[in-house]
Amino acid sequence: MSNIVFERFKEAYRQMAKVARYRPAAPSDGYGNITVKWNDPDDLEKEARRYAKKIYKQDENGLFKVYGCANFSTKRALVYVLEAAKNLCSGDDEDALKLLDMAITDIKTKEACDT
């Protein structure tokens, strides 16, 4: 296991927690409520390690898993995000950025229509 890659995945997890307040590896009650203290650095580090291990394995296998169904109003945005991910895997950052911009625009447009 490449330590530098593993650390990069852990840092991504920490940034998701810090910036987006999103912690997909945190224990929850099944209703979206995290069951650990939000600001506990030990819990965050355990989650980051668990998450990095899982993503590292998927990266090594070349197969990232996405579960669930898209909401009708964001199906196009999901397609753009999935295609952006493929571009990031192939090193085409320019097209990935364009696709991510399209996804953001589509989600914002959907939000504007919902209000």
Residue range 49-70: mean pLDDT, rounded: 94
* 88 in the same domain as 48: no
Answer yes or no: is 67 within a domain.
Answer: no
* 95 in the same domain as 55: no
Tens-place pLDDT, residues 16-41: 999 999 999 999 988 878 888 888 99
**Whole-structure pTM value:** 0.84
* 41 in the same domain as 17: yes
* 57 in the same domain as 77: no
* 81 in the same domain as 38: no
* 83 in the same domain as 40: no
Whether the Cβ atoms of residue 87 and residue 96 lie closer than 8 Å to each other: yes
CA distances from 50 to 22, 57, 67, 70 (A): 15, 11, 18, 26
